[in-house]
Structure 1
């Protein structure tokens, strides 16, 4: 398969018309797979009403078919065609955070492919805020299932070149809209229970949600094997670089000591840190990933840095840990999955 590329400058077109998207929209309507930028990461889209189209997502990514997909829509009103029940709390969150990086799990209407929902009676839906994504969704005028546009298990793509590296020849096209913004995927919130439940932390924080709807819970059973996942990222290892990754919970001196031990054994070691600490460490590769004083910058650059480690022939990667507050919760969620929950304690 030949993968086409369309380069679109989100600031280039007045009224966000983007005529370059016409061919991409046509291919989506014909049941093909197209990668496009959102404000979180690049998504791999296909018609959510077509089993055949959705199948192409799973084949291209090598993604397990029991892992549900998020549907992307181009307007707030479109959710009524997908969900049969919108609780008042969900409506309040739609009014506050859409378009934006918040996915809501709702009871589904008929018409959505069972392959999207993995046989569940619920559906995950969001309205992205990226102008290119919104215009593409409006041109297609269909609900579009779109997980991250990467090979399953690898770091999510925040640049079109990441998508190309993983999926060239496996999908019909890529809309290159430049770098994404948030850097980690959307927050997934189950609104089918009396108290909303965060299934995946992301670009909208727990504190921001509670400011709108009051108390929410955080799912403590994300990693229980054997459960049918209601949200992407609940069951399988994700985001992993090529070399084994360990999260070090301890001082800088302790992390450096562990790096020295492995290097003394002839291992090539990489360290994931922040700009504040980048000059402190000695290793084969030391990469800063945003500022510890602003964890949103760490979120923005996390996947890009994880992919950058793959450019070096490393045997092991050690990462600092981060406070699990605000967007830091999402950062640590992704790091833990990338590390396969391998932690080194001081």
Structure 2
């Protein structure tokens, strides 16, 4: 049961009657919080989208296992499948069920910095029957540092989440901004106040900068976008970690050395999840600054490397004769129900 105020429906007079009128749920009381979380759970598991608060900005969320839901997310933002959304998960224990061939660096980074402002690009489990867009066999994963967001994720399982904005616009840092941009494109919005990125004064400097993105699909971890986590802290956990600039310098040196027998030309760093270091670009889970710009400014990918990596991944899956799991089967294996909630 909700408080007397209850959820409110936003009606935009500039839209025709056939468009969606978003219902906004507040979470000021325990009853309101439960109502909001249940509403999000029902919506996304029915293949619809919802706007939820995260530890950075507001995000538009869809069930990561629902192709239709993910497409609704992309449509709401005006995005193509060439810019796949990252996936938020409730905690690091979910990682082995979604990522293929976890290495020591991946596990160490997740243990050290999750929940928090670290996005890890890994190969996706080939047995999972999901479609996030043109990922080339990879997925970008993050555990948000927000209690309400993780509570939602424990109920729904992994969510594809992108910043709550139309492409090219500033990401919503409060519910009113989300309503203004997406009120006619989503069915519900959870209002949990102003997000850290939108506050006039944030608690720490790290809250005002993007999350760090690390590509773990190559021989060494590569920072494809520097952000809230400093390199020294990261290298204490993953000593072999290098930046994209360092990788490019190594590649240039290798090209100038004809006697070198070991090539690093297929190193990671320019894939579908890679985001530019340009301040102000917007992508929840990847780029988290709300000020201006767009992820569409991302650098072009290394087509040869990504095609080879994806083909090798598909070939390995065929050789192992892996049967893709259906949506319900994947859920039951990854998130067994315990009472009324998924553990």
Q: Which category describes the TM-score, using the shorter chain as reference length?
A: 0.5 to 0.7
Instruction: Show the counterpart of 1:67.
Output: 83
Inter-CA distance 153–208: structure 2 relative to 1 (3 Å threshold):
farther
**Aligned-CA RMSD value:** 3.3
What TM-score comes out, normalization by structure 1 length?
0.62
Aligned: 1:76 with 2:92: yes
Does structure 2 retain, via aligned residues, the 8 Å contact 1:18–1:132? no
Instruction: Show the counterpart of 1:290.
Output: none
Instruction: Show the counterpart of 2:40.
Output: 24
Instruction: Show the counterpart of 2:223.
Output: 198
Instruction: Show the counterpart of 2:107.
Output: 91
Matches within 5 A, 1:1-346: 1-9=20-28, 13=30, 18-109=34-125, 110-114=127-131, 116-140=132-156, 142-181=157-196, 182-220=207-245, 229-231=271-273, 233-234=275-276, 239=281, 303=290, 306=291
User: What is the CA-CA distance between 1:138 and the residue it aligns to?
Assistant: 0.8
Residues 154-185 of structure 1, C-alpha deviation per residue, up to 9 Å, x if partnerless?
Answer: 22222222211211111111111112222444
User: What is the CA-CA distance between 1:124 and the residue it aligns to?
Assistant: 0.8
Unaligned 5+ segments in structure 1 are 241-298, 308-333, 341-346
CA distance in 1, matches of 2:110, 2:173: 25
User: What is the CA-CA distance between 1:63 and the residue it aligns to?
Assistant: 1.1
Inter-CA distance 236–119: structure 2 relative to 1 (3 Å threshold):
farther
Does structure 2 retain, via aligned residues, the 8 Å contact 1:58–1:64? yes
Does structure 2 retain, via aligned residues, the 8 Å contact 1:153–1:238? no
Unaligned 5+ segments in structure 2 are 1-19, 197-206, 249-268, 300-343
Inter-CA distance 239–21: structure 2 relative to 1 (3 Å threshold):
same
Does structure 2 retain, via aligned residues, the 8 Å contact 1:199–1:231? no
Inter-CA distance 152–237: structure 2 relative to 1 (3 Å threshold):
farther
CA distance in 1, matches of 2:108, 2:51: 30
